[in-house]
Amino acid sequence: MYHRGLICAFAVALMASGAQAAEDAKYPNLKGQWTVIVKPGVPGQRVKFDPDKPWGRGQEAPLTAEYQKVHEESMADQANGGLGNYPTATCHPGGMPRMMSVGEYEYIVTPETTYILIGGEDNYRRIFTDGRPWPGDIDPTYAGYSIGRWLDESGSGSFDVLEVETRGPFKGPRAYDGTGLPLHFDNQSVFKERFYLDKSDPNVLHDTITVMDHALTRPWTADKTYRRSANTRPKWREYYCINGMVNVVIGKENYFLSADGLLMPAKKNQAPPDLRYFKQTQN
């Protein structure tokens, strides 16, 4: 009985450890902390769609004339102290595709779902790889609804590419970067992505994203890259936009909060907010 028990335990342990190794071998190793690769010398903020070009106009986004105007007006408003077309300035989620342009990422690969943990203004993504069809009704979200499938393009017997399609309806407005470079306000974007490890460096991850959006004259593709931290137990920074947020919107106007939390104008000669509901004022 004792020997049978040992044999069974050995078999389960052998099966489990070997099967875990087999499971790990089916999928590429996406473990660890992935940080957006910033190209040195490219001006502007690092949060942008095409990492190889400057933000804003430098992205040379193939916008329609209408949305080129939306973009120009956004930047003009920001030059005057406004927030432009950038709700993330008040901690609203960035949604797709901006959520793939920030911070530190963690990928969790399971057979049914690949999760991307993001944090910050956006929580995480779920990419369903369980073979499900597109649902008949999708609730609007900032992240969209993502269905993916694993491919073995190298013929090695293991998966090496995750192809993803993400549809809405989305919530919005959404912008590609801090200049308010706009996606269409109809929130009908479709994204197609290919995630794969760099062939010459397994510590570089590619997310080649193509955006199809009614604000564009053609699909727009960028290859976003991320570098894996060498630390096998990385520090995960907890970041919440709301900590330290100094923009406040009252009515249709945005204001700043001073260091002592008082309202300040954000624009030159900006009038104070409408205080029609107050009987008593402080000054």
Partner 1 sequence: MSKGRWSKRGSSKGGLGLVALAAWLAMSAGAAPAADQALYPDWQGAWARFVVRGLGGQPSFDQTKPWGLGQEAPLTAEYQKILEDSIADQAQGGQGNFAEHAQCYPAGMPLMMVAFRPLEFVVTPQTTYVLVGGSDHYRRIFTDGRDWPSDIMPSYSGYSIGLWTNAGGGGRNDTLEIETRGFKGRRAYDATGLPLHFDNQSIIKERIHLDPSDPNIMHDETTVIDHALTRPWTVDKKYLRRPNPRPDWEEAYCVEGTALVTIGGEMYYLDGDGLLMPARKGQKAPDLRHFK
- Show contacts with partner 1 in window 71-130 (CB under 8 A): 90-93, 108, 110-112, 115, 117-119, 123-124, 126, 128, 130
Minimum distance from residue 120 beta carbon to partner 1 (Å): 8
Q: Is 134 in the site for partner 1 (CB under 8 A)?
A: no
φ/ψ of 193, rounded to 5, equals: -130, 150
For partner 1, which is the closer residue by CB, 75 or 100? 100
Q: Which residues from 175-234 bind partner 1, rule CB under 8 A?
A: 233
Q: Is 2 in the site for partner 1 (CB under 8 A)?
A: no
Q: Is 22 in the site for partner 1 (CB under 8 A)?
A: yes
Length of the chain (residues): 283
Q: Is 60 in the site for partner 1 (CB under 8 A)?
A: no
Nearest 10 degrees: CA dihedral of 240, 241, 243, 246?
Answer: 180
For partner 1, which is the closer residue by CB, 218 or 235? 235
E strand or H helix at 161: strand 161-167
Cα–Cα nearest to 150, from 210, 194, 116, 207: 194
| 3-class state of residue 225 by DSSP | strand
Pick one of 38, 151, 246, 264: the residue that binds partner 1 (CB under 8 A): 264
Place of tokens 């090695």: 156
For partner 1, which is the closer residue by CB, 156 or 269? 269
Pick one of 139, 200, 218, 231: the residue that binds partner 1 (CB under 8 A): 139
Cα–Cα nearest to 168, from 154, 189, 182, 149: 189
For partner 1, which is the closer residue by CB, 41 or 260? 260
Place of tokens 């406004």: 82
| 3-class state of residue 93 by DSSP | coil
Residues binding partner 1: number (CB under 8 A): 77
Strands 204-212 and 220-228: antiparallel
Q: Is 265 in the site for partner 1 (CB under 8 A)?
A: yes
φ/ψ of 8, rounded to 5, equals: -65, -45
Query: Measured between alpha carbons, how far is 167 from 170 in angstroms, rounded to an integer?
Result: 7
Q: Is 32 in the site for partner 1 (CB under 8 A)?
A: no
Q: Is 257 in the site for partner 1 (CB under 8 A)?
A: yes
Helices (H), the chain: 2-26, 65-79
For partner 1, which is the closer residue by CB, 123 or 154? 123
Pick the piece of the chain touching partner 1 (CB under 8 A) from 137-145, 154-162, 201-209, 221-229: 137-145
Pick one of 196, 249, 259, 267: the residue that binds partner 1 (CB under 8 A): 249
